[in-house]
Amino acid sequence: MFPDAGPDDPTVTAMRARELGRKSVVVGDRVSLVGDTSGAPGALARIVRIAERRSVLRRTAEDDATTAEGRLERVVVANADQLVIVSALADPPPRTGFIDRCLVAAYDADIEPLLCLTKADLAGPEAVLGYYTELELPYVLIRPDSDLAALRALLAGRVSVMVGHSGVGKSTLVNRLVPEADRAVGTVSAIGRGRHTSTSAVALRLPPQPGADGDPGWIIDTPGVRSFGLAHVSAESLLHGFPDLVEATVDCPANCQHTADEADCALDAWVAGGKADPRRLASYRRLLASRSGEGDPREPERNPGDPLAGS
Ligand SMILES: Nc1nc2c(ncn2[C@@H]2O[C@H](COP(=O)(O)OP(=O)(O)OP(=O)(O)O)[C@@H](O)[C@H]2O)c(=O)[nH]1
Ligand SMILES: [Mg+2]
C-alpha cells in the first residue's frame, strides 16, 4: 500500500509467510509479496518481507512499566506521518490529559500531531484551545455540516492515523472523507462513553478532489482506546510532549526528576513567572506520577478543569 500504489492497483489478499517468524505485520506496514498478487477473487499472496518502518506509533495498556499491563506494548500503526488526535468537544467530554499523552506519543514517534475537535455543534472549543495556546498545535473543528476542505488539505500527501476515545466520531469522519468506506458508527451511552464500535484499524485511501493535484493521502481509522499508556516512553522523552515546558529544564539541578517534591525544579519558577500555563505543568507531573504507579487510576486522563463525564 501507500503513496506509490496507484488508485487502480488491485487490492490483494495476503497472509504472513512462515519465514517472517514472530514478526507481526501491522496496519501501515509496507510489505513485499509473492504468489498470486492479481487481486482476483480467491487469489492469495504471501507477505515475505516487512520494510523498515519510517515511524512506529506505540502505546501500552497502562503507564506503569512494573505491571504486566504496563509491559504489554502495542504497535498502533507503522509509517504514519501524522497523528490525528480526535477529541469530541462534548459527549464524551474532552480530556486534555488524553490529548497530552497523544502529543507525547507523537513526538516520541516523530509523527506530526493534528488536533481534530469533533462535535463542535455541541460545545465550543475555547477551553481546549485555551489550554494549548502556547503550543502552536494545528487544529481543525468538525461539525456534522462542516466543510472538510481544510482537513483534506492537511491530510494530502501523507499517511495519517486517527486516535481517540470511543464515540468521539472517528468513523463518522472517515465515512465523510471516504464515502465508500462504510465504517460502522456507534452510539454514545448516557455516561458519555462510546461502545467501541470499531474493533480493528483500517487504512483507507482518500479520494482525489476535483481541482487538487497529487496524492490525496491515506487515513487510518483505529478502534477507540480507553487510555493511551506511555510506559514505553522514557521520563526524559515525556517532556518532549510539553514543548512549552522543556526550555525551563536547562536551569534544573543535575538529575532533577521534575516532580512536585523536587525542591529546586526550575519548572515551578517558570510557571510562577507566567512563562507557561500551570495546568500544563500539573498535567506533566500527573503523567510522571502515573508512570510510577501513583495517581488516580480511574480517570488518569482527566485534568482538573476538564468537564465532568456526561456534562
Ligand atoms: N452531534 C454530533 N455527533 C457526532 C459528530 N460526529 C459523530 N457523532 C456521533 O457520535 C457517535 C459515535 O461516532 P463514531 O464515529 O462511531 O465514533 P468512533 O470514534 O468511531 O467510536 P469507536 O469506533 O467506538 O472508537 C455517533 O452516534 C455519531 O453520529 C458530530 O460532529 N456532532
Ligand atoms: Mg469507530
> Which residue's CA is minimally distant from atom 8 of ligand 1?
169
Instruction: Count CA within 13 A, CB hemisphere, residue 232.
Output: 18
Ligand 1 lined by 122 (C-beta under 6 Å): yes
Ligand 1 lined by 164 (C-beta under 6 Å): yes
User: Atom of ligand 1 at shortest distance to CA of 143?
Assistant: 31
> Does the pLDDT of residue 194 top 90, yes or no?
no
> Does the pLDDT of residue 58 top 80, yes or no?
yes
* CA 167 / ligand 1 centre spacing (Å): 5
Give the number of whichever ligand sits closest to the CA of residue 194: 1
Q: Give yes or no for a contact between 184 and 244, defined as CB atoms under 8 angstroms apart.
A: no
Beta pairing class for 202-205 and 218-221:
antiparallel
Ligand 1 lined by 169 (C-beta under 6 Å): yes
Q: How far apart are CA 279 and CA 100, in angstroms?
A: 11
> Does the pLDDT of residue 203 top 70, yes or no?
yes
Ligand 1 lined by 197 (C-beta under 6 Å): yes
* CA 171 / ligand 2 centre spacing (Å): 4
The contacts of residue 66 (CB under 8 Å, 6+ apart) are 293
Q: How far apart are CA 197 and CA 166, in angstroms?
A: 7
Residue 189 pLDDT? 54
Residue 311 pLDDT? 39
Q: Which tens digit of pLDDT belongs to each residue from 69-87?
A: 777 778 889 999 999 999 9
Instruction: Count CA within 13 A, CB hemisphere, residue 34.
Output: 7
Give the number of whichever ligand sits closest to the CA of residue 224: 1
Q: Which tens digit of pLDDT belongs to each residue from 214-250?
A: 899 999 999 888 888 898 898 888 999 999 999 999 9
Q: Which three cell numbers stand for residue 254?
A: 543535575
Helix-strand-coil percent breakdown of the chain, rounded to 5? 25, 20, 55
Beta pairing class for 31-35 and 45-50:
antiparallel
pTM over 0.95: no
Residue with cell 510562577: 272
Ligand 1 lined by 172 (C-beta under 6 Å): yes
Q: Which tens digit of pLDDT belongs to each residue from 141-193?
A: 999 999 999 999 999 999 999 999 999 999 999 999 998 887 777 766 555 55
